[in-house]
Structures are given as C-alpha cells and as structure tokens.
Amino acid sequence: MSDTFGITDVTTLREHYAQPSERARLKCLHALDPHMRNFIGLAPFLCLGTAGPNGADVTPRGDAAGFVHVVDDTTLLIPDWPGNNRLDSLANIVANPQVALLFMIPGVNETLRVNGSAEITLDPQLLQRWNVGGKHPRSVLRVTVREAYLHCAKALIRSQLWSDEARVPRSALPPYGQMLKDQISIADSAEEIQASVEKAYREGLY
C-alpha cells in the first residue's frame, strides 16, 4: 500500500527539516583527533552497521574498554570473538566493505560515529594483539576511517539509557531460551536451550 505522505526524494526531505547548524556541518572530520581516540579507548561497546546483497545489518561488538585498537588517525582494528557463526556482518563486508560504527561509553550520553571501509584479515601478527587466556580472535576487522564525528546526547537523554530509574527488570521478558523455543521449531526444551546459552556465556566468550 502506497503512503501518500511518503518522502521519495532528498529535495522534499530537506524542505521538511531545518538546515543543519554550522557546528553540525563542521564537526565531521576525516581522521581521528585525540578526543576521538580517547573516546574509542574508553568504549567497551560499539554497534557495527553493514549492508550486503540481502540488505542491511547491525550487530553489537563488545569487550573490555580499549578492545578496539587505534593504529593511527585513520585505521582501527576490531577483533572478532566467538558469536553465533551466522557471519552476517562479515559476509556483508566481503560483498560491500562500507561500514558504520557507533561507539558507546557507559554513563556518557554522547556517542562517537565512525564511517569508512573495512577488510577482514587473518594476519597472525594482528590476531596476536588480543590474548585472553591464550585465545585469539578468529579474524580482525581493519577499518579505514572516512569520516568521524561526536554525536550529541539527545537520543540517550530521551531514552534514559544509563538511568537506574529506567532499568527494566529482566523478569519483564521471558528467559532467552523460552523466547527462542517459541520462535523456532526445535526438539530441545526451553530449559535445555537456556542451559546451553548460559554455558556458552560462561565458557565461550573467547
């Protein structure tokens, strides 16, 4: 069904919004400055956006703060630790190297956005950069920065993301195993799925 109020061209879209401020235009840099490098060093979490033949995808990436290595002002290294092995993001990058990163620091409402291109490498010297109990990532993303800028805090303030008062009790949702059981046809019980997931959390983070 068509939407008679839908916007289908950039000119109409731009007419519906105010022009960006000079500050918003100028803040986009083409290399990482010291503030951005410091932000990345303090960030234990990022969202990785990719796009491929089957559409777009966003995936979380996280580890101890500093897990993303800043090689220089235009190069980042991101380890790929064990996940679900769907390889959605990595397969997208093989087809389309363009990526978008959103870095987040707990308690900080501003975020850092980085756009650029990525390649997947199995270079043993790069894999050795991360060592957790003798384990190394399966691969490393080498990101070449095209643009980067700090993003204001409005979204996180509105969402109260870091507010204790806004925390949702885990009991508001069924256990993860139960939700998966309800969504897919599988012989395992919800309890068996949950036990398997929790075992992976304990033993398979690295």
pLDDT digits (tens, 9 = 90+) for 137-189: 999 999 999 999 999 999 999 999 999 999 999 999 999 999 999 999 999 99
| Exposure letters 166-189 (e unless 16+ CB within 10 A, then b) | eeeeeeeeebebeebbeeeeeeee
Confidence of residue 121 (pLDDT cuts 50, 70, 90): very high
pTM above threshold 0.85? yes
Where do you find CATH 2.30.110.10 in the chain? 22-159
Q: What CATH topology corresponds to 22-159?
A: Pnp Oxidase; Chain A (2.30.110)
CA atoms of 98 and 143, how far apart (whole Å): 9
